[in-house]
Structure 1
Amino acid sequence: MLPPNISKKELLSHFDTFVFDADGVLWTGDIPVPGASEWINTLLDDPEKSVFITTNNSTKTLEQYIYPKLMKAANFLADPSVEFLVSNEDAIFPGPIPGMVLPETGPWSAAIQNVSGRKPDIVFGKPHKEMGDFLKSRVDPGKFDSRRTVMFGDRLDTDMMFGKNNGFTTVWMPTGVGSLLDIEKARQAGETSKIPDFTCRFSEF
């Protein structure tokens, strides 16, 4: 069952802080999601609104791990004083063509864990607490209210959980890797933190 739709008018009247995932929400590959830039500009033009983009995508600035890098990381981590820090544990992110997915950081993190025998000391990306703490630190404490903050995302296990873990309203975007089947599976499994409150399409604003 599709989550209830939320309108542009409702979003503007009920929320002050707007948090967006990037891949599959604002763009797919190098292609902008229809209506996304117009919606972002509407929010940026309002001095009462705060806008954040919280992506787990580390491939824009870092090369993907290959065998020599895996070997180097595993050997560094043999020293217990070396911290194991991971940007995120996403398995995939949307590719440049609808229906195509690409490996994210998760598979490389899993490979390092298997070789080193260690678990990460800190995972910075969604849905973990560190990302939420950083976001909250960037808003004037007198203005930030979790109840008036909304998270837009396409993934249930990162974006929706991140929103729920921080007390935000969640809006699922059907433009990325998540699907209605994923939502139904979460409902059947009782995984309430993955179930979005609303859905919408920016192109309909």
Structure 2
Amino acid sequence: MQLKLLTAEDLNRFETFLFDADGVLWRGGETIAGSVEFVQQLQRQGKRVFVITNNSTKTRSQYLKKLHGLGFDLPDSNVISPGVVLPMYLKDNGYENKKIYLIGTPSLKDSLEKGAGVKCVGLGPEHFEDLTDTDFIFQLENDEEIAAVVVSFDGHISYPKIMRAANYLRDSSVDFFITNEDTTFPGPCDDVIVPGTGCIAAAIRSVVDREPLVFGKPNTPIADFLKRHHHIDATKTIMFGDRLDTDIMFANGNGFTSCLMLTGIHSLETVNKAKLTGNHLQIPHFQFSFSPYAGLTNGF
């Protein structure tokens, strides 16, 4: 399937430009050719530019440091992730001073505690052999003060952590939140699979009869946040992404124009598969490449 190429005339129709981060603006520690110049040109033309990432392993300030180091000059309010939207949700819904069981990273813990005033527990490794000398764990001492379970990427994920989350979620008064369900991360080595939050979330989903609130793309919380706090016009907004199941679905499902970048996870072959299976929400409106804009100094 050939997708329509995004033209300069098309670009001028939009007021707001949303970009996924890793796999679109950069890959690993290197920028995608032309991405910095393209974003700078949009800003010179008075366009609004946001980075929308599902990666909650970094705080907003850590993301800004990386963006600035790569040459992107964005205000902190224009970097949006579940790690930004989730703390505001918790704060707005009365979670201040409550305990959260967190499957996540120290950076997400920092974002939640500073942004929402909650207390996060569960960080770091928890080993099976520390809880039993048999092949099973039959007893757990769970904290009765836990108000919610938050699931994100955790390099220390283990059977005990999955078991704790599942047992907390047996109580219907304990809320269930997932930052995102990306199955993999894009990485510098094409022949190495880097599992993401999605596999962790799937393990917990499989043993609890609960429907979580998922904050990352393609779900609505980030789009709702943009519309409510930044007053963007969906009809004049375009999303650039490398994943059909997150970025493109996020755009199509929330009334934005979708544009596929072929610099990350998915390809035109993946688009063809989506078309054959009738998954229309995963079919982009356009495709695009930054390469012609490398070295650009003025105008499209």
TM-score (norm 1): 0.89
Q: Would you say 1:39 and 2:38 are equivalent positions?
A: yes
Secondary structure at the counterpart of residue 84 of structure 1:
strand
> Alignment partner for residue 50 of structure 1, among 48, 65, 73?
48
The within-5 A match list for 1:50-199 is 50-60=48-58, 62=105, 63-67=154-158, 68-115=160-207, 117-140=208-231, 144-199=232-287
* Distance (whole Å) between structure 2 residues aligned to residue 30 and residue 167 of structure 1: 32
Q: Which moved more, 1:13-22 or 1:90-99?
A: 90-99
- Tell me how far apart the structure 2 counterparts of residues 165 and 94 of structure 1 sit (CA, whole Å): 23
Counterparts of 2:210 and 2:268, CA distance in 1: 32
The answer (yes or no) to whether the contact 2:227–2:233 under 8 Å persists in 1 is no
Determine which structure has more spread, i.e. the larger CA radius of gyration. 2
Q: Tell me by how many angstroms 1:65 deviates.
A: 4.4
Q: C-alpha distance in 2, partners of 1:5/1:110?
A: 36
The 3 A distance-change label for structure 1 pair 99 and 28 is farther
Q: C-alpha offsets along residues 29-50 of structure 1, whole Å, 9 cap, x if unaligned?
A: 2221111122222223333x21
- Tell me if the contact between 2:248 and 2:282 (Cα under 8 Å) persists in the aligned partners: yes
Matched, 1:4 2:95: no
Question: Counterpart of 1:97 in 2: which secondary structure?
Answer: coil
Count of residues in correspondence between the two structures: 199
Over the matched positions of the two proteins, sequence identity in percent amounts to: 47
Q: Secondary structure at the match of 1:150?
A: strand
**8 Å CA contact retained: 1:57, 1:104:** no
Shift in Å, 1:157: 1.0
Question: Which stretches in structure 2 are left out of the alignment for 5+ residues?
Answer: 60-104, 106-153, 294-300
How far apart in 1 are the matches of 2:52 and 2:22? 10
Deviation of 1:146 (Å) = 1.6
CA distance in 2, matches of 1:147, 1:22: 22
TM-score, normalising length: structure 2: 0.62
Report which structure shows greater RCO (CA 8 Å, sep ≥6).
1
Distance 1:32 1:41, change over 3 A: same
TM-aligned CA deviation for residue 199 of structure 1: 0.6
Tell me if the contact between 1:29 and 1:97 (Cα under 8 Å) persists in the aligned partners: no
Structure 1: which 5+ residue stretches go unaligned?
none
Q: Secondary structure of the equivalent of 1:57?
A: coil
Q: Please, what is the CA RMSD of the aligned residues?
A: 1.8
